[in-house]
Amino acid sequence: MIYSLYISMTDYNIATGVRNFINFENYRSALFDVEHLRSIKTTFIFIIGTVALSTSIGLGLALILNKYSKGRSIFVPFLLMPMMLTPVVVGLMWGMMYNTDFGVIAFLLRTIGIKRGSWTGDPSTALLTVILTDVWQWTPFAMILLLSGLQAIPQEPFEAAQIDGASKWHMFRYITLPLLKPILLIVIVFRIVDSIKVFDVVYTLTAGGPGTTTEVISLFIYRTCFRFFRMGYASALSWILLIITVILCEIYIKLIRE
Amino acid sequence: MISPHMKRNIEAISAYSILLIALFLAVFPTFWILSTSLKTREDIFAMPPRWIFTPVLENFKNVLTGFPFLKFLKNSLIVSAANTVLALAIGCPAAYSFSRFKFRGSKDLAFWILSLRMAPSIAFVLPIYILFSKLGLLDTQLSLILAYFTYTLPIVIWVMMGFFKGIPAELEEAALVDGSSRLGAFFRITLPLSLSGIWTTAFLCFVFCWNEFLYALILTGVNARTVAVAVSAFNTQRGILWGEMGAASVIAIVPVLALSTFIHKHYIKGLALGAIKR
């Protein structure tokens, strides 16, 4: 790690072998690098989309599964399946289904009248396809943790509320949600941290394209380092990313200790 | 007028239909890739998609004979198994001491280890890459086994800490009174009692190593390539070999799915422990 800190202060380029100590120059240029800032923005949109969707869908499914216990043991293992799959395979699999020429999604959408070019190749829909794919894989994670949280909630407050004539929405809003809050926070933080790291799915589904519309931060660092061989700059970028993650972790730990 | 009884029925029906739709969405892509792997070239490119077709094993044969895929499978297996065993061997004692002894900064150290799990791999892969290239370890199975510790060790330590804390210290104290050593108490009492936890953790580690992509992509070349990287390599310069890719994907996901079917109860418990008891 310390070595990488040193590297991050040089203009080390593996291809040319140049290596001069340039102090914090890399960090300064990272702050003004348009591509870097754009990849942060893409990551940010990706995080908001995937975390919001996977958590809310996961919560919905968990609520249903919690209430209707009949058949739960049959549904749950199948619903968990996406989570177990190799992310690379998930990316390729969805890439195949999104495919314009013979993909099954394109086909289904065409039969109901929505005609599009390529879903992964169109700049306006590419990020959406990546988000949906990630949501598909990680909703089960949110679902199963929230379900175990729901099952730990005692029944008494609900019975009391029912006697008082509370509506379903009120019971959810004022009993379930506050009691579920700690685990909901954990799920959200976990999803955020995992989304910052996202690489496999994007790499196999769109490889950051078309252009750079789906280039998340991991992919940007990867490209800087292993396509342009700018080790020094890439190390600096890694350190910035690490610092962002550490700050998030600190917030997380604070939340847990409360 | 809708009676309350009917209302309840409608609710139940809609709830189960939502579950069924979710079930379909969860399973369909996997089914699709399985069917692709069994199709001939013409069937794959047919439009509209062919739902009924004569399955062929040609793609599997191509993958296993045309490419060194068996070698990649072996790599994945060796790396995942070795890393899991070693991570457990190192992580269990560490988790045990975290759960039993309070020393200065033990809490901070535990959180620091946890933050390793949260840190993005891309931030670690650079220094590791430079280090391993200096040591001449690139493209060896050892490089991956070592690199995966950055993820599996925190997992082992955190999940096992939860399990060890659940085992009453009195049991060990009883053994100590009877003349057993601390180490003896750990091996004869605590460890056997937390066996289900060990299986869970082993599964989590194994799945992680098996599925990992970024380290494997960067640290390996032709020799130590793992299945995950090999699957993505069917996306070749000359176009994507869909059938072969489908077959390779199926081979890649089968071991994990098979393992998960008979361990999934433990798996959920492990996830919950890993996430909640922090």
Look at residue B85 in the predicted model and tell me its pLDDT: 93
Tokens standing for residue B203? 């599964």
Closest Cα in chain A, distance from residue B183 (Å): 32
Look at residue B82 in the predicted model and tell me its pLDDT: 93
Can you give the CATH number for the domain in which A105 is found? 1.10.3720.10
| Mean predicted lDDT score pLDDT of chain A | 79
In this complex, do A84 and B256 lie within 8 Å of one another by their Cβ atoms? yes
Instruction: Please determine, for residue A93, whether its predicted confidence score (pLDDT) is greater than 70.
Output: yes
In a domain, A211, yes or no: yes
End-to-end CA distance of chain B: 51
Number of domains in chain A: 1
CA dihedral A27, A28, A34, A40 (to 10 degrees): 40
In this complex, do B121 and A197 lie within 8 Å of one another by their Cβ atoms? yes
In a domain, A247, yes or no: no
DSSP state of B235: E
- β B235-236/B239-240 pair status: antiparallel
Whether this model's ipTM surpasses 0.90 comes out as no
CA–CA gap between residue B127 and residue B133 (Å, rounded)? 10
Look at residue B278 in the predicted model and tell me its pLDDT: 39
| Mean predicted lDDT score pLDDT of chain B | 80
Beta-carbon neighbour count of residue A157 at 10 Å? 16
Q: Can you give the length of chain A in residues?
A: 258
A238 interfacial to chain B (CB closer than 8 Å): yes
Look at residue B123 in the predicted model and tell me its pLDDT: 76
In a domain, A199, yes or no: yes
Expressed as residue numbers, the domain containing A203 is 33-227
CA dihedral B272, B78, A201, B252 (to 10 degrees): -100
Q: What does the pLDDT look like over B120-168, one tens digit per residue?
A: 777 778 778 888 888 888 888 888 898 888 888 888 888 888 788 777 7
Q: What does the pLDDT look like over A213-230, one tens digit per residue?
A: 777 778 888 888 777 777
Chain B residues close to A64, C-beta within 8 Å:
15, 18-19
In this complex, do A97 and B121 lie within 8 Å of one another by their Cβ atoms? no
In a domain, A159, yes or no: yes
In a domain, A101, yes or no: yes
Pairwise pLDDT comparison (B265 vs B185), residue with the higher score: B185
Tokens 């899991």: give the residue.
B84
Q: Which of A173-187, B115-129, B155-169, B193-207 has the lowest mean pLDDT?
A: B115-129
Query: Given its phi and psi angles, is residue A210 left (phi above 0), alpha (psi -120 to 50 degrees) or beta?
Result: beta
Mean pLDDT of the region A69-82: 80
Look at residue A117 in the predicted model and tell me its pLDDT: 65
Q: Which of residues 159-188 of A touch B (CB under 8 A)?
A: 183, 186-187
**Number of helices (H), then strands (E), in chain B:** 15, 2
Chain A residues close to B122, C-beta within 8 Å:
197, 199, 217-218, 221-222, 238, 241
Residue at A195: amino acid letter = S
In a domain, A251, yes or no: no
- Partner-chain residue, chosen from B16, B45, B118, that has the shortest CB–CB distance to A245: B118
Pairwise pLDDT comparison (B180 vs B267), residue with the higher score: B180
Is A256 within 8 Å of A186 (Cβ atoms)? yes
Instruction: Please determine, for residue A200, whether its predicted confidence score (pLDDT) is greater than 70.
Output: yes
In a domain, A235, yes or no: no
Chain A residues close to B44, C-beta within 8 Å:
102
Is B214 within 8 Å of B121 (Cβ atoms)? yes
Q: What does the pLDDT look like over A26-62, one tens digit per residue?
A: 777 767 777 778 888 888 888 889 999 999 999 999 8
In a domain, A253, yes or no: no
CA–CA gap between residue A8 and residue A230 (Å, rounded)? 10
Q: Give the helix/strand (H/E) hosting B16.
A: helix B4-37
Q: Where are the alpha helices (DSSP H) in B119-190?
A: 121-135, 141-147, 149-165, 169-177, 182-185
CA–CA gap between residue A116 and residue A110 (Å, rounded)? 8
Is A97 within 8 Å of A187 (Cβ atoms)? no
